[in-house]
């Protein structure tokens, strides 16, 4: 379609028979054309009409004179640019609206996959039209202000549709990915983080990122009553947040923290885990002073601590990992305090470790046992000598977990052996009275492992080596009192493999 025919259809030019391109002086103001196209897109009554209009918009950006497309009509330069930017912002929003996701009727239910069936076919032409616009903008040069105006909306749209979700298809994801790449090329951005945060060393407007603009778009949809109505909002927010790192995150902390807390507080495990992941990213990429300001770190701690009562293994795993880093912000590690320090009193580290150990004692689900066992070593390591306050619980957990097979990788047993080693090294003066009970458990473990035909050779050897190391450390705690007992083990009661393992312990002790 010729430009003159498009103008005639939109009642912007009297001629309907012109066959040659119209010179710029005879063209209407671009803002007027963009406004009319926006009205047509919003008022389209059918998919075919919408598709036709999107094709016309793409044709316009592909063939029209860039000088006419991107030049303000008003003689007032400042007003003219503002008018032009507003016109492009509105048109881009109308284009994106043509492939908008349907909204849930309430904040409790979710839409079936069938509700998104038409979205991919509508998203592809929109991506194509926006890609052409960005390509023309990139070639025009000197259009940084106009590009920064439309970039946030385009980025949100691209991120929404390049993810593998029920509202996308392979073709729509490819089109959205191409759109994101076109956006990066148009602005000369290296990658998505550079697009969002810009050049921190340069404070001029042309080098700033678009994260603020994206949050302006998402903010109205990220309230307590509305964020669940559109499935894509949380994903776009999380994608944006996870791209922003230190030191660029701090200036936006006030806008990033509340939605992350909102997500983490949701009853659905997938939403809760996404929120915890966002909170963990904030903890890792925000200075401790900023987190402690206004009691933010304490709010985070309370929000995370209550999740330790859940029974979802994946949630527990992400929460414990986040808590370990957050506790380093809230207080000094107990292991770093001097023995005479008045601050070596029970603290949040103790509260978390106590609750974890309590849950471990009664836990029977394999997945949760794996999570707890894997999370325990770094907490014991952080506690240092202060783990003495929890020795009774640690002992019960060690005895309970080492007695139960954990095929096929024996993850829990290996981690608990690591816990025992760390505990023995940190609290060795208090371990002597527990040597007898622990030694019986470890010797039984050696016998069980050596006779377990289901274990691979490498895994069996690893378990036996770690067990032998535990015995060696306990022997050190008891000042060598175990050595005579180990040397008197009846060779007829155990395999040569076990005897060899015990012999290696006594040989190392003698040295």
Residue 392 confidence (pLDDT): 95
Of 152-166, 388-402, 465-479, the poorest mean pLDDT is in: 465-479
Of 28-32, 120-124, 421-425, 495-499, the poorest mean pLDDT is in: 495-499
Question: Quick check: 487 and 481 in contact, CB under 8 A?
Answer: no
Percentage above 70 pLDDT, the chain: 88
Q: How far lies 380's CA from each of 206, 328, 331, 358, 415, in Å? A: 49, 14, 16, 15, 12
pLDDT of 444 > 50? The answer is yes
Residue 344 confidence (pLDDT): 63
Of 145-159, 221-235, 327-341, 468-482, the poorest mean pLDDT is in: 327-341
More confidently predicted of 239 and 461:
239
Q: What is the pLDDT of residues 48-93, one digit of tens each?
A: 999 999 999 999 999 888 888 888 776 666 778 899 999 999 999 9
Residue 94 confidence (pLDDT): 96
Q: How far lies 179's CA from each of 119, 151, 166, 197, 251, in Å? A: 16, 11, 20, 19, 28
Residue 491 confidence (pLDDT): 62
* Residue 23 burial (CB count, 10 A): 9
Adjacent-strand bridge partners of 208: 198
Q: How far lies 237's CA from each of 241, 252, 311, 440, in Å? A: 6, 13, 27, 53
Please state, rounded to an integer, the average pLDDT across all residues of the chain: 87
340: confidence class by pLDDT, cuts 50, 70, 90: low
Both tokens assigned to 352: 């978390």
Residue 16 confidence (pLDDT): 41
Task: Report the C-alpha gap between 148 and 204 in whole angstroms.
Answer: 13
Question: With 0-12 CB in 10 A as exposed, 13-18 as middle and 19+ as buried, what is 108?
Answer: exposed
Q: How far lies 458's CA from each of 349, 435, 450, 505, in Å? A: 36, 28, 12, 19
Residue 167 confidence (pLDDT): 95
* Residue 142 burial (CB count, 10 A): 7
What is this structure's pTM? 0.90
Averaged pLDDT, 287-309: 96
Question: Quick check: 405 and 452 in contact, CB under 8 A?
Answer: yes
Of 208-217, 283-292, 475-484, the poorest mean pLDDT is in: 475-484
More confidently predicted of 73 and 397:
397
């Amino acid at each position: 379609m010729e430009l003159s025919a498009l103008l005639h259809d939109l009642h912007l030019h009297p001629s309907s028979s012109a066959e040659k391109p119209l010179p710029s002086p005879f063209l209407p103001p671009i803002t007027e054309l963009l406004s009319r196209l926006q009205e047509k897109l919003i008022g389209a009554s059918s998919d075919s009409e919408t598709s036709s209009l999107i094709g016309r918009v793409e044709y316009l950006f592909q063939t029209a004179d860039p000088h006419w497309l991107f030049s303000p009509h008003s003689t007032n330069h400042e007003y003219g640019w503002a008018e032009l930017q507003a016109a492009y912002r509105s048109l881009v929003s109308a284009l994106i609206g043509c492939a908008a996701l349907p909204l849930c009727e309430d904040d409790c239910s979710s839409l079936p996959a069938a509700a998104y069936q038409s979205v991919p076919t509508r998203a592809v032409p929109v991506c194509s039209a926006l890609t052409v616009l960005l390509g023309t903008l990139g070639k025009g040069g000197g259009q940084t202000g106009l590009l920064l105006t439309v970039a946030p909306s385009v980025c949100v749209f691209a991120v929404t549709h390049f993810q593998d979700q029920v509202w996308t298809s392979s073709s729509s994801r490819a089109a959205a990915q191409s759109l994101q790449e076109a956006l990066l090329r148009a602005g000369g951005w290296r990658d998505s983080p550079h697009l969002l945060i810009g050049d921190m060393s340069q404070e001029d407007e042309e080098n700033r990122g678009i994260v603020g603009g994206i949050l302006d778009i998402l903010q109205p949809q990220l309230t307590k009553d509305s964020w669940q109505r559109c499935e894509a909002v949380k994903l776009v927010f999380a994608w944006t947040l996870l791209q922003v790192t230190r030191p660029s995150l701090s200036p936006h902390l006030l806008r990033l923290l509340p939605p992350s807390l909102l997500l983490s507080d949701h009853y659905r495990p997938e939403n809760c885990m996404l929120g915890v992941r966002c909170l963990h990213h904030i903890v890792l990429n925000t200075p401790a002073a900023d987190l402690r300001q206004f009691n933010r770190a304490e709010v985070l701690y309370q929000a995370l601590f209550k999740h330790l009562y859940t029974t979802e293994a994946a949630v527990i795993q992400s929460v414990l990992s986040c808590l370990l880093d957050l506790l380093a912000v809230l207080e000094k590690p107990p292991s770093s305090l001097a023995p005479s320090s008045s601050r070596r009193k029970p603290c949040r580290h103790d509260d978390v470790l106590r609750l974890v150990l309590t849950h471990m004692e009664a836990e029977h689900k394999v997945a949760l046992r794996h999570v707890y066992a894997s999370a325990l070593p770094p907490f014991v390591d952080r506690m240092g000598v202060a783990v003495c306050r929890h020795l009774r619980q640690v002992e019960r957990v060690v005895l309970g977990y080492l007695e139960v097979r954990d095929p096929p990788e024996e993850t829990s047993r290996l981690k608990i052996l690591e816990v025992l080693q760390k505990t023995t090294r940190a609290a060795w003066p208090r371990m002597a009275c527990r040597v007898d009970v622990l030694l019986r458990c470890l010797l039984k473990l050696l016998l069980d492992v050596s006779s377990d035909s289901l274990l691979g050779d490498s895994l069996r050897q690893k378990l036996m080596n770690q067990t032998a190391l535990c015995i060696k450390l306990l022997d050190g705690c008891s000042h060598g009192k175990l050595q005579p007992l180990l040397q008197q083990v009846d060779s007829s009661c155990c395999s040569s493999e076990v005897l060899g393992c015990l012999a290696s312990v006594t040989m190392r002790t003698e040295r």
